[in-house]
Amino acid sequence: MTAVRTLLAFSACVVAVYGALPKAQPVLQLPSYVGKGCSRNDPNINECVIRVGAPAIKKVTQGDPKYRIPKLDPLVVDEIKVQQGTRQVGLSLSCKKCLLHGLQNTKFIRAKVDWDKRTCDWFLTLDKMRINGKYNVSGQVLLLPIVGNGDMEMELRDLKFEYKYDWYYEKKDNGLVYVVIDNSTFPFDVNFMTISLENLFNGDKLLGGNMNTFLNENWREILKDLRPALSKSLAALTKSILQNMANVVPYDVMFPEKYPL
Ligand SMILES: *[C@@H]1O[C@H](CO)[C@@H](O)[C@H](O)[C@H]1NC(C)=O
Ligand SMILES: *[C@@H]1O[C@H](CO)[C@@H](O)[C@H](O)[C@H]1NC(C)=O
């Protein structure tokens, strides 16, 4: 589940081709907002990645069609699902085409690059993420059958992300080497979460209010269900951003041996 739809639309985009290359493999420079990038021989590569990456986040989340990066704030997530317990005692909540707001404020805190092992680890934080959209819920909670559909809003606060990946090198038909990203994972932690479901029990304010209070008191359980799906879509998203860029910017341009003068 949770494929990131907007990215599919963009994968159909055609990127400009420089020079007459076999198989029309595009060759682009790094986007201007990452400056000179980072040299693969920089002894302080971790610091360089932060220096270059931190200010780029805002730009990247605004989207960059040249590198096939769609607008990421808000991000459309195909489906978010919470499945608690069984249908008799528990609930099943789904939100289709939910919007995830706030990624542009992500802060890049620390990076750990290991060239020998070809692994990379990023540490990021985000003060607040908001998810909203139309929900459906059914099940049984507090001895009450719960049914409803309407507007949903979740707010996640104090998020800590880690984005980890491996990479390998691949020589393309144009004779140039490109980076291929593998094994992306995106574990994260949330310090607090609120949830609000409008129009529960056909709009009964008292029952709906009690149920929302109950859900908020049990946000940790709800988050537990939410986590794998969110983690998976954030990993897929980040990977596709990097991979889309790595598909058009050769390794020697992305991480040059020496900094250009
Ligand atoms: C809610 O359920 C109905 C009927 O199963 C379905 O048509 C609709 O798409 C669902 N909406 C959401 C937001 O999940
Ligand atoms: C991805 O993970 C698998 C399993 O751990 C490993 O064999 C593979 O080498 C990894 N990929 C890269 C590029 O390191």
What's the confidence (pLDDT) of residue 88? 60
Residue 84: both structure tokens together: 């608690």
Distance, first Cα to last Cα, the chain: 46
- How many angstroms does the Cα of residue 166 sit away from the middle of ligand 2? 7
What's the confidence (pLDDT) of residue 5? 39
Close Cβ partners of 49 (under 8 Å, ≥ 6 residues apart): 38, 111, 113, 122
User: Which ligand is nearest to the Cα of residue 179, counting in written order?
Assistant: 2
State the pTM of this model: 0.82
Contact 166, 180 (CB under 8 A): no
Which residue has a Cα nearest atom 6 of ligand 1?
A: 136
Summarised one tens digit per residue, pLDDT across range 45-96 is 999 999 999 999 999 999 999 998 989 999 988 888 888 776 566 788 999 9
Judged against a pLDDT cut of 50, whether residue 200 lies above it is answered with yes
Summarised one tens digit per residue, pLDDT across range 148-183 is 999 999 999 999 999 999 999 999 999 999 999 999
Q: 73 in ligand 2 pocket by Cβ < 6 Å?
A: no
Distance CA 40, CA 257 (A): 6
Q: 81 in ligand 1 pocket by Cβ < 6 Å?
A: no
When pLDDT is cut at 50, 70 and 90, the band that residue 9 belongs to is very low
Contact 33, 56 (CB under 8 A): yes
What's the confidence (pLDDT) of residue 23? 52
Residue 238: both structure tokens together: 């980040």
| Longest pairwise C-alpha distance within the chain | 70
Of all atoms in ligand 2, which is nearest to the CA of residue 180?
Answer: 13
Q: Taking phi first (over 0 means left), then psi (-120 to 50 degrees means alpha), and beta for anything else, what does residue 5 get?
A: alpha
**50-54, 182-186, 234-238: least confidently modelled range:** 234-238
Residue 91: both structure tokens together: 């609930």
What's the confidence (pLDDT) of residue 259? 84
When pLDDT is cut at 50, 70 and 90, the band that residue 221 belongs to is confident
The larger pLDDT score, comparing residue 226 to residue 257, is at 257
Mean pLDDT of 85-113: 88
Which percentage of the chain shows pLDDT scores above 70? 89
Q: How far is CA 146 from CA 149, 152, 197, 206, in A?
A: 10, 15, 11, 13
